[in-house]
Amino acid sequence: MTGDHSANRVGIVLVSHSAAVADSVAELARGLAGGGPYAALAAAGGTPDGGLGTSSELIAEAARAVDEGAGVALLVDLGSAVLTVKAMLAEGDELPPDARLVDAPFVEGAVAALVTASAGGDLDAVTAAASEAYGYRKE
């Protein structure tokens, strides 16, 4: 993408089967990311009627909302969230041109992605930071 990268930051979308999970992880990431200002972050959880599942409409809407022209990183939880984002990327016109599915653990990846994007990291840096969260073992 062209544009002023010092002003435009990578946007982040959190896709979960549950609106409560997506919203809570967004809140957690903001809480742990420091004092801000934060990169744009949007939650796309559950179905439009409030049920458990994945909604391509909510995902597309969230991606548009956080897109500043520097790319959009999508973090997903499981099952249909993964497959829906992959199918949307394959379609080609439902997500911003620099949208990317990031292979990362959902909670840890969200924090790493938001910190990196808020600090001005580009899409590669955000992807790398979120993916590296897999490397931190818990035992």
Partner 1 sequence: MPDVTSYDAELDALFFRRWLTAAADAVDREAGRLTELDSAIGDADHGVNLQRGFAAVTAVLEKEEPATPGAVLVLAGRQLISTVGGASGPLYGTLLRRTGKELGDEPAVGRQRLAEALGAGVAAVAQLGGAKAGDKTMLDALLPAVAALAESFGAARDAAGQGALDTVPLQARKGRASYLGERSIGHQDPGATSSALLIGALAEVAA
Q: Which is nearer to partner 1, 10 or 88 (CB)?
A: 88
CA distance linking residue 96 with residue 61, whole number of Å: 10
Residue 30 CB, shortest distance to partner 1, in Å, is 27
Among 16, 18, 54, 116, binds partner 1 (CB under 8 A): 54
Q: Which is nearer to partner 1, 8 or 54 (CB)?
A: 54
Q: In the bound complex, what is the minimum distance in angstroms from residue 132's beta carbon to partner 1?
A: 23
For residue 64, state whether it binds partner 1 (rule: CB under 8 A).
no
The DSSP line for 16-36 is: ES-HHHHHHHHHHHHHHS-S-
Pick the closest to residue 55 from 104, 18, 105 (CA basis): 18
Per CB under 8 A, does 57 bind partner 1? yes
Q: Does 91 bind partner 1 (CB under 8 A)?
A: yes
**Alpha-carbon distance 43 to 19, whole Å?**
8
